Amino acid sequence: MSLSLPLSDMASRAHPGWPSQLLPIELFEMIAKYLPTRKDFGSMRLVNREFNTKLIGSFVQQLVIHLGPELSARLDTGVTLQDRPTSINITDHILQSEIFSSFGSDIRRLGLALELQEHELATPATGDLEEIDLNPWSICRWLLRMDEVRPNLHLERVIYSLESIRGVSALMTGASNVRELALSCDCGLGYLQGPDVNHLQPPARPPVFGDPNLVRTTDNRSLQVRYAKPYRLEMLEHKLAAAGVEPEIIPTKIRELFESGDTTESEWTHEERARPCLPRCPYHSRDLFRAPAEDVMIRLQPDQLTDTQKKFLFMYLSAQQGLVQSFLLGVIDNGPSFVHLTKLNIARIPSLYLEFLFHDDFWSRLPGLEEVALGVIPDWRTVYQQDIFNVAVEQLFPTDALPKVFRLLKDYIGKQSRIKRLHFEWHCGGEFAAGCVQRNRYVLPAPFLKSHLKVINSSPKNLLVLPFITHLSLKNCWFAPNVFYRIMDTMARDYSLEELELETVSLSGPPIHREVMSDVEDFPPPPPTDDQDDHAHHILAHQHLAQLHQYQAQQNQAPQDLDGDEVDDKEHPLQKPPWLSWCHIIDMLTPGETIRELAYEEREGPFAPPLRITKKLKLRKLIFKSCGYVEVPDFRFISNRRFDDLQLPPNLVPLELAAEAAIQPTRNAVAPFLQNSTDRHLGEICMVMDPWERATMRIIWGFNFGWVGTYDRIVIDAARQDGIFIPGYGRFTGTLECDPNARPEEEDEDEDEEVASNSSAGDDLLDKPVHYVFDTSLFDRNYDDNDGLREVMLFQEREMGYYREPRMDQFFWDQLFR
């Protein structure tokens, strides 16, 4: 692109400067494409008015509207608390803004968000829900009933705006050319960090578009978890100031209030905190409790919310529900006009609201929809109004969210033949979860099981198979290996799956069928199948059991390295992988060369007939980022034996011990205030992998281990801040693609039939292709999940510090902290 200025204009300029209104808008847009962040984009707009005018069209191509109380506060025009919220309608104000009135047709990605920030819950803007009556002769207070409580003005405006006729639907009408529509909401029912704050990854508003793993520092306000002044005293000062009391008189009025109530400041500012009991379990009927913790300076204690915080959560649910329902109605009303919409991005949604998405009218109103992204926040608690004065909180098992996601994927998203690309992730725990207590823990199973408690049942009736999906992306979840293999093999063999992308996805240890085995070493070899080569299968079957001993013996003999880049092949001879390990499953799914072929060639020599494998899978690409294993507490049906003897190399042990010693005091200090769960299916990341499997992945497939080169340095530093001394040490990253020059399997099969017709019966069977499959029929059956459940739950309760005599123990702790 060339730029030429008229000679008359150039001559008229007596001094160098900005050539006003001479540069075409295309040049501005080209420069803007190279800006890394929207903050840089905004800085460029501030150069001068011409920059702003010519860049705003590109700037609003991606627009996220945060419909929170802070937006209402910015739009405030002096409205008092006595005014009704109708004086300012947030959505009307947005529609009348320059962005929507002038550039609505330029919006390509539109997101709506309403997310409760942790500092808002720590200091609820609703106050302590007590009324203050200030008279010349006295000052009084009384508790408000729930039906008398009004949300703070800004939150009330949000609720009204979302429920109005010209609400979200009108916003969508103004963005008729949108390509991607997004929704992000978080009502605080999931896991909260509380005092477990990582200064490199503090609680902050997550991105709706862009890098989901973005880690950035924030201001000190977000880092504040300890407060010198009690919350109730701070709220009382605000109420008196709002009533017109002069600042110098406020301490006197507060003292009068305490004297009239015959109380002290410490007694009046004390807020009751009680832990909710654990969810009831089938094997017992008594409630379980955990000893309370005490620190009046920590306002947000996620497992011990105050009454004010509970009521604030309850109020916020109304706004969240209004946003989700308005979003659905807006799509239904404007669906046919979204002719360019191809992607629906549910970036974050609490599992509480998933049922709102169970509507065929919603999914059928987007004719061009090809891609769906779904990120679910599993509920750790439920909040409900107990009586006219109180709101109650009860704990939930996070995995109770699985049946809802399963139904949404199976009955609604999975039935839309036009949806070809699907992304799913849990927003709970895992490798990217901030905080020394949460990181690498609380990983939920993938929602691909109809009976979500029966995590090893790989029967077709229990599995979710998405027939129309060609690109499947999963993040932050785990599978039992037989379940993972059965699902992916079925989708790629019988249906449409061509590309599988996994980020921080894990496999558990091998399944245990309690009727025929006590642990994985008792696993019998799978029976031969008609489509398997007898000779090759004979070799494989005899190695299934021996392999479990061989690779662990090699682990004790082979040196391990720090970065995983230099390996001695001689210390790790090529062999068939352990059954249902990552290597085994990838070997059966990969579109490229397999370990089984290479091991056969190494064993039989170069002059033996080649082992030719056929798979009949449509998979053309496998992408892995930081994948590995998890350990699952449910030892009845999942074996962790493969991980028991794995150790770090001797040179890394001191580093691990030093990192653990440094983080343990912080972990011990904050853990009593944080949420806990005895959910037996919450996995924990296994940071060590068998050295043979590491070597095989590097040599055969070129995989890398660790996060260096995979994630940004700030992401790695944030994990180290939480005590992970080598983030991703036992996790692998790599890509496997189909060779574009490889002959299609159909041509090989035609040639094999011709060769077979011209060959004698005595020719080697290995001249024919071998079907590489694993028979999961041993685990394709139902089983009793209550068998042995008592032992598992008792172990979990002891590990988490729960006890069973709430009255006596609670009285003891109340007396101790009185």
The answer, yes or no, to whether residue 637 has pLDDT greater than 80, is yes
Express each pLDDT in 303-329 by its tens digit: 999 998 998 899 888 888 888 988 998
Same structural domain, 318 and 399 = yes
CB distance 691 to 579 below 8 Å = no
Express each pLDDT in 706-716 by its tens digit: 999 999 999 99
Express each pLDDT in 248-300 by its tens digit: 888 888 888 787 767 788 887 888 898 988 887 777 555 677 888 989 899 99
User: Is 817 domain-assigned?
Assistant: no
Same structural domain, 590 and 680 = yes
More confident residue, 559 or 163: 163
Cross-strand bridge partners of residue 349: 376
Same structural domain, 731 and 591 = yes
User: Is 278 domain-assigned?
Assistant: no
Last residue of a domain, one of 379, 407, 426: 426
CA distance 737 to 623: 9
Strands (E), 719-759: 732-737
Residue 550, pLDDT score: 40
User: Is 165 domain-assigned?
Assistant: yes
Same structural domain, 519 and 474 = yes
User: Is 21 domain-assigned?
Assistant: no
The amino acid at residue 810 is: Q
Please give the residue range of the domain that contains residue 40.
Answer: 26-59
Confidence tier at 678 by pLDDT (50, 70, 90) = very high
User: Is 615 domain-assigned?
Assistant: yes
Residue 81, pLDDT score: 35
User: Is 347 domain-assigned?
Assistant: yes
The answer, yes or no, to whether residue 765 has pLDDT greater than 60, is no
Same structural domain, 472 and 400 = no
Residue 49, pLDDT score: 74
Same structural domain, 585 and 606 = yes
Which phi-psi region, left, alpha or beta, contains residue 594 (left: φ > 0; alpha: ψ -120 to 50)? Answer: beta
The answer, yes or no, to whether residue 103 has pLDDT greater than 90, is no
Confidence tier at 690 by pLDDT (50, 70, 90) = very high
Confidence tier at 626 by pLDDT (50, 70, 90) = very high
Express each pLDDT in 23-66 by its tens digit: 777 777 777 766 666 677 677 777 777 777 766 666 677 788 88
Residue 526, pLDDT score: 44
Which phi-psi region, left, alpha or beta, contains residue 709 (left: φ > 0; alpha: ψ -120 to 50)? Answer: left
The token pair that represents 111 in the structure block: 């997101």
Confidence tier at 686 by pLDDT (50, 70, 90) = very high
Express each pLDDT in 175-210 by its tens digit: 778 899 999 999 999 999 999 999 888 887 888 887
Least confident of 57-66, 117-126, 218-227: 218-227
Last residue of a domain, one of 16, 34, 59: 59
CA distance 129 to 143: 7
Same structural domain, 412 and 549 = no
Domain count, the chain: 3
Element holding 374 (H helix, E strand): strand 371-377
Task: List the one residue out of 661, 625, 631 whose CA is nearest residue 646.
Answer: 631
DSSP-assigned letters across all residues of 637-703: TB--HHHHT----TTTHHHHHHHHHHHHHHHHHHGGGS-----TT-BEEE----HHHHHHHHHHH--
Residue 660, pLDDT score: 93
What's the gap between Cα 351 and its chain centre?
A: 12
The answer, yes or no, to whether residue 445 has pLDDT greater than 90, is yes
Task: List the one residue out of 620, 623, 596 whose CA is nearest residue 740.
Answer: 620
Mean pLDDT of 637-664: 91
What's the gap between Cα 588 and its chain centre?
A: 28
More confident residue, 146 or 69: 69
Residue 455, pLDDT score: 96
The answer, yes or no, to whether residue 726 has pLDDT greater than 90, is yes
Mean pLDDT of 346-355: 96
Least confident of 87-101, 157-171, 753-767: 753-767
User: Is 356 domain-assigned?
Assistant: yes
Same structural domain, 677 and 563 = yes
Same structural domain, 68 and 197 = yes
Last residue of a domain, one of 374, 404, 426: 426
Least confident of 39-48, 113-122, 325-334, 447-456: 39-48
The amino acid at residue 92 is: D
Confidence tier at 759 by pLDDT (50, 70, 90) = very low
User: Is 254 domain-assigned?
Assistant: no
Express each pLDDT in 546-573 by its tens digit: 333 343 333 333 333 444 444 444 555 6
Which phi-psi region, left, alpha or beta, contains residue 236 (left: φ > 0; alpha: ψ -120 to 50)? Answer: alpha
Same structural domain, 98 and 213 = yes
The answer, yes or no, to whether residue 170 has pLDDT greater than 70, is yes
Same structural domain, 490 and 365 = no
The answer, yes or no, to whether residue 540 has pLDDT greater than 50, is no
Start-end of H helices in 262-367:
265-269, 307-334, 360-364
Residue 463, pLDDT score: 98
CA distance 89 to 162: 9
The amino acid at residue 177 is: N
Residue 270, pLDDT score: 85
More confident residue, 389 or 381: 381
Same structural domain, 648 and 766 = yes
Least confident of 20-29, 36-45, 529-538, 587-596: 529-538
Express each pLDDT in 464-481 by its tens digit: 999 999 999 999 999 999
Task: List the one residue out of 585, 629, 594 whose CA is nearest residue 489.
Answer: 585
- pTM for this one? 0.85
